[in-house]
Every structure is written in C-alpha cells, then in structure tokens.
Amino acid sequence: MKRILLSFTAAIAISSPVSAEQLNVVGSWSSLPLHKAYEAPFWGETLPEASGGKITTQVTTHNEMNLGVADVFRLLGQGVYDVAMTVGDYAVSDAPELEGLDVPLVAMDAAKAKAAVDAARPMVDEIFANRFNSKVLAIAPYPPQVVFCNKEVASLDDLKGLKIRASGRMTAKFLEALDAEGVNVAFSEVPGALQKGVVDCAVTGAGSGYSAGWWEVSTHLLTIPLGGWDPVVTAMNMDKWNSLDAGTQELIADQIATKFEAPAWDSAQGALLNDIACLTGNGECESGDKRSMVLVEATDADIAKARDILEAKVLPEWAERAGADWAKRWNDSVGKVVGVSIASK
C-alpha cells in the first residue's frame, strides 16, 4: 500500500501546475453508479472548471489504491490525501456514534432519507472533526440497501435462520434480532458466497447489486431497506481545508452542494425504481438489460415488525455503545424527523 501511495503522490507532484491548488482525491467504489455519475465528473471536471483552473485534481478510488475501507478516513485524517469519500458505516469501528447516520428501516423513500441525513449532519460534522481531523463537505446516498436472496423468501419472517451478508454493523445487529445470522463478507466476494451457499442472502444497494451481477447468483429481491441508505460521506483533511483561503472554501462548498450532493439526492428515488425494474423486469429499465429476479415487496406487517425490533433491540444496543449523550442528540434530531425514539434507561 505504501508503494501505491508514494506513486500516487509522485504523479500528483509531476502533473500539478505550481500556481494551482492541487487536491488529491480518493473516491468510493469505482465500479458503482455514484462514482461514475457524480464523484468522478465533479472532482475531475466540474470543480476545476468552476475554479477557472485555480483548482486541479488527481482522482482515484480506494479500491483502485487497494485501501481497506476502514482505512479511508484514518489516512485522510493523517493527510495522506486531501479529499476522500466512502460509506460512513465503514468507519464505525473508529467512531461507533457514526452508526446513527444510517439506521435501517427508518426511511422508506429518498425524501425521508435526505431529511434524516440533514438532521444528522451537525453530529456527523463533529464526529469527523474530532475523530478524523476532517471537514465534512457532502453526504450523498447509495440506493437503499435491499436484500438479494438465493432462497425463496416471501416476507421478513422468511429471513429467520438464514445466513445473510450485512451492509453495516447496525444492519448486522438487526439481523441478529431477527434470528438470522449476520455474516461478514466483502462486497466483491458476495457473488461467490451466494453461489457456494456461504450466505443465503446479502444486503446491498439495488443498483450496486445490478452493476455487480448479483442477479446471476440470486433469485429473490426483498425491497425493504434493511440496510438503510448507506450514506457516503465526502470529507477534506482539516489541515488542508484550513490552509485554503476563504474564497476557495466558499467555492468548494457551493459547488459540491449544488453540483454534486443535490443532484445525487434528486436522482436517488428514480434510480431505485429503475434498479428494481432492471433486476426484476417489472417496469422500464434504463441501465441495461432486464433481469428476472422475483420481486418481494414489504408488507405493512413486515414494516411494523421491523420498527418494533429497531426500537426495542437495535437502537438501545447502539445507544449503549455510543453513549447516552449521542442517543439524546439522535432522538432530538434524526429521531424527530423519522418518528423513532430510543427509550432512555
């Protein structure tokens, strides 16, 4: 990894105009729609053009650099690169309070998910400043984390006893409370795990599963957002941010809010419907060929049961890890937006 980072730094030094503000940018998964449609164009073209050439960038992704996902924000805080973005859940081993950003099943559509993220933003800003020496620039969504199964399922109850790859720690806790077995499998290894029976089901975004070919090794798609919306945090090393003049800071903040974050959220709900259509053949698919997975839509009973588990078991367990102060702050912000409350002990 050190060789990769040194090569990355050397390439930047050679290619950067002396007069320009150079930003070394590490994006999220290179193969997924968020990076292709939003991250790469914004950092590679939109921001440099808006700056009139005063900002130049060198853009790669954490998987292209062979970085462990848990290392992305650690290395950002150390100044190895200037800007990084990845799923907030990947950093919860360093910041358990960050789990409150992506709670399963509290947002059934993009508008509610955006409202929850906006409510959580002050807490996320504080967590990144204190834990990762970083300035949060944006929070954008992956599609909701749904369930791909290579078993016949018709409801949430049918997940009981199955081995399921979770998309984050809180999702794993929810699966345990559902009497399913949460299994830790890397995203890239999921197709093989489904095919070999290492797992029966796996949780990821519908579009991510479509792009990665999970439809080839799974038969049923349960569209309840069991893994939340997997928000992707974009942050800049705080020392780098503080070194920029006020005008450059304002330009970056304005451009990323209007040309990256807002468009990503605006397309989220339509992308979900498109992804489901592509995976199941139900509706218009604009992304490629239609597949033929069995569509399993959540019933009111499924959603009610999931909410009960969330409030009775999953959120109280998170509150114990994060601490009473974070639980109260979550109740007063995100909880009010989504209508869920963590009971105090």
For 160-191, give the DSSP string.
TT-EEE-SSHHHHHHHHHTT-EEE---GGGHH
For 171-199, what is the mean pLDDT? 92
* 15 has pLDDT over 50: no
The pLDDT score that the predictor gives to residue 345 is 60
Residue 325: how many CB atoms within 10 A of its CB? Answer: 10
Residue with the two structure tokens 């990256």: 260
User: 232: buried, middle or exposed (CB in 10 Å: 19+, 13-18, 0-12)?
Assistant: buried
| Cβ-based neighbour number of residue 188 at 10 Å | 11
Residue 5 has a pLDDT of 55
- pLDDT band with cut points at 50, 70 and 90 for residue 136: very high
The predicted pLDDT at position 158 comes to: 95
**Rounded distance between C-alpha atoms, residue 108 and residue 4, angstroms:** 40
| Residue type at position 170 | M
Higher pLDDT, 306 or 117: 117
Residue 296 DSSP SS3? strand
- Would you place residue 9 in the very low, low, confident or very high pLDDT band (cuts 50, 70, 90)? low
Residue-level pLDDT at 333: 96
The owner of tokens 């998309």 is 167
**93-130 confidence digits (pLDDT tens):** 999 999 999 888 888 888 999 999 999 999 999 999 99
pLDDT at 44: 97
pLDDT value at position 100? 93
Please give the average per-residue pLDDT across 149-177, as a whole number. Answer: 92
pLDDT class for 16, splitting at 50, 70, 90? Answer: very low
Is the pLDDT at 17 greater than 50, yes or no? Answer: no
DSSP SS3 for 235? strand
Which tens digits make up the pLDDT trace of 191-246? 999 999 999 999 998 888 998 999 999 999 999 888 788 899 999 999 999 999 99
What percentage of the chain has pLDDT greater than the value 90? 71
Calculate mean pLDDT across residues 28-41.
Answer: 93
User: What's the predicted TM-score (pTM) here?
Assistant: 0.87
Task: Give the 3-state secondary structure of residue 220.
Answer: strand
Average pLDDT for 24-53: 95
Query: Is 299 a residue whose pLDDT tops 80?
Result: yes
Q: Which stretch of 19-23, 63-67, 124-128, 252-256 has the lowest confidence by average pLDDT?
A: 19-23
- Averaged pLDDT score across all residues of the chain: 91
Question: Given phi > 0 = left and psi -120 to 50 = alpha, else beta, which region is 230?
Answer: left
